Copies of this chain bind each other. A is one copy, B any other.
Amino acid sequence: MASTNPQTTYRYTNFPDSSFWGNRRTTVRRVTLPVQLHMLKGTGRYDAFKLKWKPIYDDPPASWPVPKHLFWDSDVAKWIEGACYFLAEEKEQGKSVDEVEAAVHELVEMIRNAQQEDGYLNIHYTVVAPGQRFTNLRDMHELYNAGHLIEAALAHEHCFHNDQLLAPILKYVGLLHRTFGPSPDQIHGYPGHPEIELALLRLYKRTHNPEHLQLAHYFISERGNGNSGGTGKHYYDIEREKRGEHTYEWPEHYPVRDPYSYQQAHLPITEQQTIEGHSVRAMYLLTAVADLMLLEGKAQQNYENALTRLWTNMVSRKVYLTGGIGAIYQWEGFGDDYFLPQSKDEGGCYAETCAGIGVVMLAERILAQELRAEYADTMELALYNAVLTGMSHDGKKFTYVNQLGSGESSLSERQDWFDCACCPPNVTRLLGSIGGYLWTAQEMGNQRVAVNVHLYTRATLNLKVGDAEVEVEQSTDWPFGDGTIGFSIRNLPTSSDLTLRLRIPLWASSWYLDPPLSAAEMHDGYLLLPPTYLHANASFTLRIPLKPRLLSPHLYTNQRIAAVARGPLVYCAEDVDNPWEADHFKSELRKDVVEGEEIVGIRAEGAAGFLKVPERYNPSSDGPTDSWSIDKTRRRETLRFVPYYARANREGKAMMRVGLRILQ
């Protein structure tokens, strides 16, 4: 398992259209991919690899020194990667070429032609700043773009079974391996925005070329070295001096103190005590660190300690109720411990969609190392509430920042696209490979396989147990309904051993297995169903009652609020459903003591009696009738909630709030 990634294993999972995630994938395939292709064309990104000059190249930097077009390579690469995950299934089914597939082929052709003699492949440094390649690793996203090209190439080869994209990328990686490293004639640098590290580790699993592992290892271990090449200096200062920039000249968005914490390069990773800086960079970096440990084994004790330390600091002190991360606008990243305001006008709330995706990626890698329900809980929380909230129900509009509360200068609304368009195609590629996050299969050798089920939805998993093609099916309305999940095992030979481990979320106050187990074994939050049980019961049901509950942030956040949650879903109040919104719901519960008491009543006595059991939520419906509501028993008014992931899908004033004041 350690040597696989969800981006490859997703192929063994199939979704019926009635599946919650199947439905989201269908929307992305039918709507989002064509819409994003249209945006790539409209904004000039699509044919940028033709290396012609474009007017936008003359624009001043969005935020010095970053030109507006700097990420274009990655925007295209992420779209290709996402498209390939969907096309792979269709190619198997022999579907004919449509505009999405045609675009993939044309883009690959353009990328091939854009490659330089020596293998170099980057739009900005070929068209706009030739001769300056690798002179600003700190800010210019050169290696970040390379990383996404690698991931696109892997998805492309996996889909089309040819090396049209992988071949040129391998040539580029060869150049990078010769360029970066410890020897005197090599550059001792590493990317300001991690990404290539995790891409190289994915690549290594495909190629088993030690150079790929070696380069990832170098980028990770050299990072934050204050004595680069024995100079006594930080590499970013060395290259800065070479660029002729002044000592105190750095991008305005860096943290004032300890500027290189922005890139998690203020110290070697093994010496970092708290999670700091830009949150997407932090997640991509730690995902690579976790993957490196899986490949090199826990010999790397220092890395394991750092990973545990930083993960714990994050989930215990720097994560929002939604699983989103990053409170500070200036550096799109982490603030002080417990500093987690709900909105911009309360001091900050960023929770970038890409950062939520990073949390999912990191949690998945850690989970692959150590099977503990708490990692899967965080993964699921972020998936629904920090990632899915970034895309509209129709798949056409997106958010970059995901605040828990709207403000006058920061409404809860979506956009078609962004100048820095990292988020939209990132959602596309995650949903493309989402099947790989549901469960993991573990070869135990000699006809023995274990399947660890992390997430619940309607889906089937096909896996080889010995020579047999076994199918595991789960069927549920999760995250809605009553929390019943039906399982069926098909075509399991009596000669084979299949073990299932079913995640029981930490928030679950009870669970029921039918038929029951004589002696239930639970390991770190996973319920173990042994081969004997599965041979005896080809079908069985697990029920994890989805009870409404209230979440409250840690006292030290200084927020006396509660948020409505049910199962993995966090809910929010929107102005379309509720009469009061003048102050973006900041004060409402104060105005209505009854409401406040009822809410606390829920917390004190459990939700039963106060919250209606919800119907499946349908964001495309207008009315709030199928939305969450709190009945106030004294007065029959209703305070209505909808799932946070489904916010901003209807007409309204774009006013929304997750955490509402409580009065105890």
Interface residues of A (CB under 8 A from B): 64-65, 245-254, 256, 259, 330, 335-339, 341, 344-348, 555-556, 558-560, 583, 586-587, 590, 593, 596, 661, 663-664
Bound Cα distance from A556 to B661, whole angstroms: 12
The listed residue (B246, B560, B661) touching A249 by CB distance below 8 A is B246
The listed residue (B65, B254, B345, B586) touching A336 by CB distance below 8 A is B345
Known contacts A251-B248, A345-B336, A583 near B558 by CB under 8 Å: no
Query: Chain B residue with minimal CB distance to A328?
Result: B347
A664 x B249 contact (CB < 8 A): no
B residues in contact with A253, CB < 8 Å: 256
A345 x B337 contact (CB < 8 A): yes
Bound Cα distance from A534 to B559, whole angstroms: 55
B346 x A558 contact (CB < 8 A): yes
Query: Chain B residue with minimal CB distance to A257?
Result: B252
Closest 4 CB pairs of A and B: A64-B248, A249-B249, A347-B347, A555-B587
B558 x A559 contact (CB < 8 A): yes
Interface-centre pick from A249, A596, A661 (highest chain B CB count, 10 A):
A249
Known contacts A247-B64, A256-B253, A555 near B347 by CB under 8 Å: no
Bound Cα distance from A336 to B410, whole angstroms: 13
In the complex, 24 of the A-B residue pairs with CB atoms within 8 angstroms, ordered by the A residue number, are: A64-B248, A245-B246, A246-B246, A248-B251, A249-B249, A252-B254, A253-B256, A256-B330, A336-B344, A336-B345, A338-B345, A339-B346, A339-B347, A341-B347, A341-B558, A346-B558, A555-B590, A556-B587, A558-B559, A560-B590, A590-B664, A663-B663, A663-B664, A664-B664
Interface-centre pick from A254, A346, A558 (highest chain B CB count, 10 A):
A558
Query: Chain B residue with minimal CB distance to A60?
Result: B247
A661 x B560 contact (CB < 8 A): yes
B residues in contact with A346, CB < 8 Å: 339, 558
How many of these chains are in the complex? 2
B residues in contact with A596, CB < 8 Å: 664
Bound Cα distance from A466 to B59, whole angstroms: 72
The listed residue (B247, B256, B259, B583) touching A555 by CB distance below 8 A is B583
B residues in contact with A555, CB < 8 Å: 583, 586-587, 590
Q: How far is the CB of A485 from chain B (nearest CB, A)?
A: 38
Q: How far is the CB of A662 from chain B (nearest CB, A)?
A: 9
Q: How far is the CB of A21 from chain B (nearest CB, A)?
A: 36
B residues in contact with A246, CB < 8 Å: 245-246, 249
- Besides A338-B345, A555-B590, 8 more A-B contacts (Cβ < 8 Å) are A246-B246, A248-B249, A256-B330, A555-B583, A555-B587, A556-B583, A560-B560, A593-B664
The listed residue (B252, B339, B664) touching A248 by CB distance below 8 A is B252
Bound Cα distance from A586 to B558, whole angstroms: 7
Interface-centre pick from A245, A341, A560 (highest chain B CB count, 10 A):
A560
B556 x A586 contact (CB < 8 A): yes
Query: Chain B residue with minimal CB distance to A344?
Result: B336
Q: How far is the CB of A196 from chain B (nearest CB, A)?
A: 26
B residues in contact with A259, CB < 8 Å: 252
Query: Chain B residue with minimal CB distance to A342?
Result: B558
Bound Cα distance from A400 to B337, whole angstroms: 24
Bound Cα distance from A295 to B596, whole angstroms: 55
Query: Chain B residue with minimal CB distance to A336?
Result: B345
Query: Chain B residue with minimal CB distance to A409?
Result: B336
Query: Chain B residue with minimal CB distance to A248?
Result: B64
Query: Chain B residue with minimal CB distance to A327?
Result: B347
B residues in contact with A250, CB < 8 Å: 252
Query: Chain B residue with minimal CB distance to A559?
Result: B558
B residues in contact with A330, CB < 8 Å: 256
B residues in contact with A335, CB < 8 Å: 347
B residues in contact with A341, CB < 8 Å: 347, 558
Q: How far is the CB of A338 from chain B (nearest CB, A)?
A: 7
B residues in contact with A339, CB < 8 Å: 345-347
B residues in contact with A344, CB < 8 Å: 336
B residues in contact with A256, CB < 8 Å: 252-253, 330
Q: How far is the CB of A245 from chain B (nearest CB, A)?
A: 7
Q: How far is the CB of A617 from chain B (nearest CB, A)?
A: 28
B residues in contact with A249, CB < 8 Å: 245-246, 248-249
Bound Cα distance from A663 to B593, whole angstroms: 11
